[in-house]
A and B are shown apart, each in its own frame.
Chain A
């Protein structure tokens, strides 16, 4: 992750210090761990939510657990 932050540092011109690069990389690593369980949900046949409707049609899939 540190390399990715370094690349962004150059691309965006942040002028981050090494300490700041470590800090951002740690945050990005924590976020990656947080998001991991999202990929364990079976979302087959489910489209992204873009707007709230009064009634939402239920889909048959969507059971919790690994695919």
Chain B
């Protein structure tokens, strides 16, 4: 068997070695399980381990591959799953006290598809309570800690998933993203996070009350763009169990990877993505833009007339949808929510119905405005967050200090940590976050790349080209 180091390992590199029987899926799985045993007490990335299942699946993969029955690039690959995605026979808490003992008797469609592809599921990852927040400070299961600096948040709500990938506690993870919950932690932990087009991936098996219906997506966290593309190819596609899933054909997402981007146009939206933007993030983003231009892309400013309404549209969509799902527990177990979440849910009960419906109408307008922008550019880029990872203390006191200023982490329009990611939830556009630099204190900084609906291939093409000429994704946290 080939010797290998878990840090820096990617699916793209290891899958061919598994196929050629040069790496044993069983040995690989055991190595990850050992690493989790060593590091999880420090990072709190996993809530539940599936050790027995994982070893049995890896053993089966080894046997099948040995007999020449190789299922594809996910065969024998260790994954983790966010704890608001149903896993048959395994506790699925959604990071909540209320569901602390819930054991689903079914798999989410994405889990079923991973299993069919021969993937090995190591366990369930920690998250923000009910996915209703972006710092993964969880009062019931403790905070997940950022592997680059454990005094800092990993982002969220898929915080544990991002920590698991960044700290090499799995090769990829599935998360959910209704306001940036895949891209935000991917950015703060220095990994790749993809939110596909709304409907591209079935959300059947997502815990109700953790994302709503109109802006919620399942997404992928991985070490490289190519790994994201490989995983998406296996989990995307229509699902009769999810009426909102699309029947758009699933292309070969790795096909565009490696194709040149010369001549492509990249759109920049002025104003919105400059709110509270911290100097270090601005400089990293501008440098990334210069790199895209050096690769032959042309930058062009685009205008989205109703961009300033995005926070209102997001709140008007998610809050009533959350209340629809939480009504039963609000009536029966209100004090089993953390106080902050309880107050928010009660306030949500007072949103008039016309607010919700009007928001859905304006969302269509906003999508049309993005369609118009995409007539002149192929992708739109933006920073993923206005700041690198805040400390846990920053989050508890509600502000950060940067560039000699105090910047609040929330305002009337909601959470500032999701302000840059929500435009792509409201519009459902496929968007990836990739690492585009590091702060002076060694914290990762992320950039988003977005494309028209169902053009994930274009997102991968640009993101991979950028990744290939930079070394950011190769850095690993010292643990």
A5 CA to B347 CA, complexed, in Å: 8
B348-361 interface mask toward A, CB cutoff 8 Å, 1 = contact, 0 = none?
A: 11110011011111
Q: Which residue of B lies closest to A46 (CB)?
A: B361
B334 touches A58 (CB 8 A): no
Looking at the assembled complex, report how far the CB atom of B242 sits from the nearest CB atom of chain A, in whole angstroms. Answer: 11
Among B311, B355, B371, which residue has its beta carbon within 8 angstroms of that of A58? B371
Q: Is B306 an interface residue (CB 8 A)?
A: yes
The DSSP consensus for interface residues of chain B is helix
B365 touches A28 (CB 8 A): no
B311 touches A34 (CB 8 A): yes
Q: Which residue of B lies closest to A1 (CB)?
A: B350
A52 touches B371 (CB 8 A): no
Q: Which residue of B lies closest to A35 (CB)?
A: B355
A62 CA to B362 CA, complexed, in Å: 8
Residues of B within 8 A of A64 (CB): 305-306
A28-46 interface mask toward B, CB cutoff 8 Å, 1 = contact, 0 = none?
A: 1011111101110101001
Chain A interface bracket (under 10, 10 to 19, 20 to 34, 35 or more): 35 or more
Known: A20-B339, A20-B343, A34-B412. 17 other contacts (CB 8 A): A14-B334, A27-B344, A31-B315, A35-B316, A38-B313, A39-B354, A39-B358, A41-B362, A43-B358, A48-B361, A49-B367, A52-B197, A52-B199, A52-B367, A54-B248, A58-B368, A64-B306
Q: Is B100 an interface residue (CB 8 A)?
A: no
A49 and B361 in contact (CB under 8 A), knowing A14-B346, A54-B453, A56-B371?
yes
From 364 to 421 in chain B, residues with beta carbon under 8 angstroms from any chain A beta carbon are 364-365, 367-368, 371-372, 412-413
- Interface residues in chain B, defined as those with a beta carbon under 8 Å from any beta carbon in chain A: 197-199, 214, 244, 246, 248, 305-306, 308-309, 311-313, 315-316, 319, 330-331, 334-335, 339, 342-344, 346-351, 354-355, 357-365, 367-368, 371-372, 412-413, 427-428, 452-454
B453 touches A23 (CB 8 A): no
Residues of B within 8 A of A12 (CB): 330-331, 334, 346
Looking at the assembled complex, report how far the CB atom of A22 sits from the nearest CB atom of chain B, in whole angstroms. Answer: 10
A43 and B365 in contact (CB under 8 A), knowing A38-B359, A56-B371?
yes
A35 CA to B362 CA, complexed, in Å: 12
A23 touches B343 (CB 8 A): yes
Residues of B within 8 A of A37 (CB): 308-309, 312
Residues of A within 8 A of B428 (CB): 52
A/B interface sample: 27 pairs, CB < 8 A = A4-B350, A5-B350, A8-B349, A12-B330, A13-B331, A14-B342, A15-B334, A30-B412, A31-B351, A31-B412, A35-B316, A35-B351, A35-B355, A38-B312, A38-B313, A38-B355, A38-B359, A43-B365, A46-B361, A46-B365, A48-B357, A48-B363, A49-B363, A51-B246, A52-B246, A56-B364, A56-B368
A47 and B361 in contact (CB under 8 A), knowing A38-B316, A56-B371?
yes
B343 touches A24 (CB 8 A): yes
Residues of B within 8 A of A24 (CB): 343, 346-347
Q: Is A18 an interface residue (CB 8 A)?
A: no
Looking at the assembled complex, report how far the CB atom of A9 sits from the nearest CB atom of chain B, in whole angstroms. Answer: 8
B362 touches A38 (CB 8 A): yes
A52 CA to B396 CA, complexed, in Å: 37
A35 CA to B315 CA, complexed, in Å: 9
Residues of A within 8 A of B197 (CB): 52
Give 9 closest A-B pairs by Cβ, nearest first. A48-B360, A27-B347, A52-B428, A49-B364, A43-B361, A49-B363, A28-B347, A28-B350, A52-B198
B454 touches A54 (CB 8 A): yes
Residues of A within 8 A of B308 (CB): 37
